[in-house]
Amino acid sequence: MFTRTRRLRQNGILREMVRNVTINLDQFIYPIFVEEGTNIKEEIPSMPNQYRYSIDTLSEELKELKDLGIKSLLLFGIPKIKDEVGSEAYNDNGIVQEAVRYIKKNFPEFLIVTDVCMCEYTSHGHCGILNGNDVNNDVTLNYLAKIAVSHVKAGADIVAPSDMMDGRIQAIREALDKNGYINTPIMAYSVKYASSYYGPFRDAADSAPSFGDRKTYQMDFRNSKDYKREVIADTEEGADFIMVKPALPYLDVIKVVSEETNLPVVAYNVSGEYSMVKAASLNGWVDEKKIVMENMYAIRRAGADIIISYHTKDIAKWVQNGEIKL
């Protein structure tokens, strides 16, 4: 006799009863781009419905996010001035630091994660201090540690280093502990590939490198083994979360990482993944809600505990309006 697996799919109540992959809004982190200046709310051309905000225009957006039940934010900063050493990244009065203070003062219920990197702040667009045409790994560590301390001093709840320098988790952990921030978690971009899916983000954050690429420090997607070394290294150095970025092209990696680590696994559903869905939806080629939720469940099914996604606000709206059920 053949097996009748369809028995457990016969109606919606039964399907709800036996499903074992769930999603709730508490598992999402919503990225926000904050730009130095005033009276700025500028839509990002390659990311429909995503904006750059100056601090003075953030209030309306934050109120909406709060009312939608979104609790966690990931902040990216766009400074007015960039230089060779990305000095605005660790300026205690820099754009991210000021944005953190503003949110903590006016919307203290949000959990704030800050991106710790230098690419948005350097004149050359690379993620560290240059030595000729290459990034000097060990010198960069000192700068990353300064950035992290500066963010936490301003009130950040979690720091998320995205630079992919070797040893940066240890350097940041030691700097945070030395400054008394022993309870501040580090969300490590442990498995970050040199991906073409980041294109719209570079448009959003003005962070494209002025020469070359980032393949000497971001990971090669043709290698199926080195991500395990990255996870082990970051765990041993003191990471509190392990991130995989991008998400959808690397569901196999998320799966293995989730099975081999005891730390929470974060998947970053990146700008290119978002923009492709938006473009197809705007052209009427796909049902946006169904595609987005299928993608989110795929990420969760692969093993991600937390999802960073630009779709978060839309998902929250759909839930609030009764258009989807999580």
CB 92 within 8 A of CB 52: no
104 catalytic per annotation: no
Active-site residue (options: 245, 255, 313, 325): 245
Active-site residue (options: 192, 215, 228, 290): 192
192 catalytic per annotation: yes
Which residues, listed in sequence order, are joined to residue 244 by a DSSP beta bridge? 191, 267
d(CA 31, CA 254): 20
User: Active-site residues: which are they?
Assistant: 192, 245
